[in-house]
Chains A and B, each alone.
Chain A
Amino acid sequence: MNVELVHIHKSFGVVHANNDISISIKSGVIQGILGENGAGKSTLMKVLSGFIQADSGDILLDGKAVRINTPSDAIRHGIGMLHQDPLDFPPMKIVDNMLIGHDGGLFPNRREVSKSLKELQAQFGFNLDPETYVDSLTVGERQQLEILRLLWLGARVLILDEPTTGISASQKEKLFETLKKLAEQGMVIIFVSHKLEDVEGLCHKIAVFRQGSLVGETAPPYNTDNLVEMMFGKVISLDEKTRLENCEPAMEISNLSIEDNRIQIRNANLTVNCGEVIGLAGMEGSGQRQFLRALAGLMRPVGGDLRLSGKRLTGKPYHSFQDAGISYVPASRMEEGLIPGLSITEHFILSEDQSGFFIDREKAVTISRERINTFNIKGEPVTRVEALSGGNQQRALLAMLRTPLRLLLLEHPTRGLDIESSIWIWSQLKDRCKQKTCIVFISADLEEVLHYSDRILVFYNGKVSQPLDAAATTVDQLGQLIGGKGFQC
Chain B
Amino acid sequence: MLNKSSAGFKFGFQILAIVAALIFTTVVMLLAKAPPLEAFKLIFTGSVGSTGKISDVIVAWIPLLLATSGLLLTFAAGLWNIGIEGQITLGAIFTTWALRLLQDTSLSPTLIILIGFLAGILGGMIWASLTGLLKIYGGVNEIFGGLGLNFVATALTIWLIFGPWKRPGVGSMSGTVPFDNLLWLPQVEGLRMSWWSLGIGLIGIAIVYLILQGTYFGLRLKAVGKNGRAAFVIGIPTGKYMMSAFFICGAFAGLAGATQVLAVYHRLIPAISSGYGFLGLMVAMLINYQALWAAPVALFFAALNIGSIQLPIVLKLDSTLSGVLQGALVLFVLMMDGVRRRLTAKKVK
Interface size on B, residues (CB 8 A): 19
The docked-state distance in angstroms from the alpha carbon of A256 to that of B227 is: 30
Which one of B22-30, B210-218, B242-250 is at the interface?
A: B210-218
Using A357-B215, A358-B214, A361-B214 as known contacts, say yes or no to A339 and B235 having CB atoms under 8 A apart.
no
A335–B228 Cα distance when bound, in Å, is 9
CA distance A213 to B250 in the complex (A): 56
B237 to chain A: closest residue by CB: A319
Does B226 lie within 8 Å of A350, measured CB to CB?
no
Asked, given contacts A319-B237, A350-B236, whether A337 binds B215 with beta carbons under 8 Å apart, the answer is no
In the complex, A351 has a CB within 8 A of chain B: yes
Inter-chain CA distance A347–B230, complex, in Å, is 11
Given the interface contacts A350-B220, A357-B215, does A335 sit within 8 Å of B230 by beta carbon?
yes
A356 to B237, CA, bound (A): 18
Within 8 Å of chain B (Cβ to Cβ): is A330? Answer: yes
- Asked if A336 and B215 make an inter-chain contact with CB atoms under 8 angstroms apart, the answer reads no
User: A354 at interface (Cβ–Cβ under 8 A)?
Assistant: yes
Do B236 and A340 touch (CB < 8 A)? no
The complex places the Cα of A346 from the Cα of B231 at a distance, in Å, of 12
A359 and B232 contact, CB distance less than 8 A: no
Contacts of B219 in A (CB 8 A): 342, 346, 349-350, 359
Chain A residues near B234: list those with CB within 8 A: 339, 347, 350-351, 400
Does B54 have its Cβ within 8 Å of any Cβ on chain A?
Answer: no
B41 at interface (Cβ–Cβ under 8 A)?
no
B226, B234, B237 — most chain A CB neighbours (10 Å): B234
B235/A319 in contact, CB under 8 A: yes
Taking the closest CB of chain B, its distance from the CB of A270, in whole angstroms, is 23
CB distance from B180 to the nearest CB of A (A): 41
Quick check: is A59 within 8 A (CB to CB) of the other chain? no
B349 to chain A, nearest CB (A): 11
In the complex, are the beta carbons of B226 and A339 less than 8 A apart?
yes
Task: Answer whether residue B1 sits at the interface, using C-beta atoms and an 8 A cutoff.
Answer: no
- Between B214, B231, B235, the greatest number of chain A beta carbons within 10 A of the residue's beta carbon is seen for B235
CB of B223 closer than 8 Å to a CB of A: yes
**Which residue of chain B lies nearest to A339 when distances are taken between CB atoms in the complex?**
B227
Give the distance in Å from the alpha carbon of A341 to the alpha carbon of B76 in the complex.
12
User: Could you tell me the distance in whole angstroms from the C-beta of A345 to the nearest C-beta in chain B?
Assistant: 10
| Chain B residues, CB < 8 A from A459 | none
CA A338 – CA B223 in complex, angstroms? 9
Q: Residue A336 contacts which of B220, B226, B233, B235 (CB distance < 8 angstroms)? A: B233
User: Interface code B169-197, partner A: CB below 8 Å = 1, 0 otherwise?
Assistant: 00000000000000000000000000000
Cα A40 to Cα B280 in complex, Å, equals: 48
Which residues from chain B contact A341 at a C-beta distance below 8 Å? 222, 226-227
How far is the CB of A236 from the nearest CB of chain B, in Å?
31
Q: Pick the contact of B227 from A319, A335, A357 — CB < 8 Å?
A: A335
A72 at the interface (CB under 8 A from B): no
Q: How far is the CA of A259 from the CA of B221 in the complex (A)?
A: 32
- Of A318, A319, A342, A349, the contact of B226 (CB 8 Å cutoff): A342
Q: Determine if B230 and A336 form an interchain contact, defined as CB atoms under 8 angstroms apart.
A: yes
Interface centre among B220, B222, B230, B232 (most CB of A within 10 A): B230
* B223:A357 contact, CB within 8 angstroms: no
Q: Which residue of B lies closest to A356 (CB)?
A: B216
Across-interface contacts of B216 in A (CB, < 8 A): 349, 354, 356-359
Given contacts A354-B216, A361-B214, is CB(A340)–CB(B233) below 8 Å?
Answer: no
Is B229 part of the contact surface with A, judged by Cβ < 8 Å? yes
A61 at the B interface (CB under 8 A) = no
Query: CB within 8 A of A342: which of B223, B229, B232, B233?
Result: B223
Q: A342-B222, A350-B223, A351-B235 are in contact. Are A337 and B230 (CB under 8 A)?
A: yes
A365 CB, nearest partner CB in chain B, Å: 13
In the complex, chain A residues whose CB is within 8 Å of the CB of B237 = 319
Question: Closest chain B residue to A349 by CB distance?
Answer: B219
A394 → chain B closest CB, angstroms: 14
CB-nearest residue of chain A to B214: A358
Q: How far is the CB of B261 from chain A (nearest CB, A)?
A: 32
Query: By the criterion CB–CB under 8 Å, are A338 and B215 in contact?
Result: no
CB-based nearest A residue for B216: A354
In the bound complex, how far is the Cα of B236 from the Cα of A361, in angstroms? 20
A347 to B214, alpha carbons, bound, how many Å?
14
Contacts of B229 in A (CB 8 A): 335-336
Task: Give CA–CA (A62, B231) in the complex, Å.
Answer: 52
Determine whether the beta carbon of B226 is less than 8 Å from that of A298: no
CA distance A358 to B233 in the complex (A): 23
Min CB gap A357→B, angstroms: 6
Cβ-defined partner of B214 (8 Å) among A328, A330, A350, A359: A359
Q: What is the distance, in angstroms, from B104's C-beta to the closest C-beta of chain A?
A: 42
Task: Report if A322 contacts B (CB, 8 A).
Answer: yes
Docked Cα-Cα span, A340 to B227, in Å, equals: 7
A409 to B219, CA, bound (A): 26
Provide 11 A-B residue pairs closer than 8 Å at the C-beta atoms, listed in order of the A residue: A298-B233, A318-B232, A335-B227, A336-B229, A336-B233, A337-B233, A339-B222, A342-B226, A346-B219, A350-B234, A354-B216
B-to-A contact residues, CB < 8 Å: 214-217, 219-220, 222-223, 226-227, 229-237
A contact set with B: CB distance below 8 Å: 298, 318-319, 322, 328, 330, 335-342, 346-347, 349-351, 354, 356-359, 361, 400
Of all A-B residue pairs in the complex, the 10 with the closest CB atoms, nearest first, are A339-B227, A341-B226, A354-B216, A339-B226, A339-B223, A336-B229, A358-B214, A339-B230, A322-B235, A336-B230
6 other contacts beyond A335-B230, A336-B229, A349-B216, with CB at 8 A cut-off? A330-B230, A335-B229, A338-B227, A350-B219, A350-B220, A357-B216
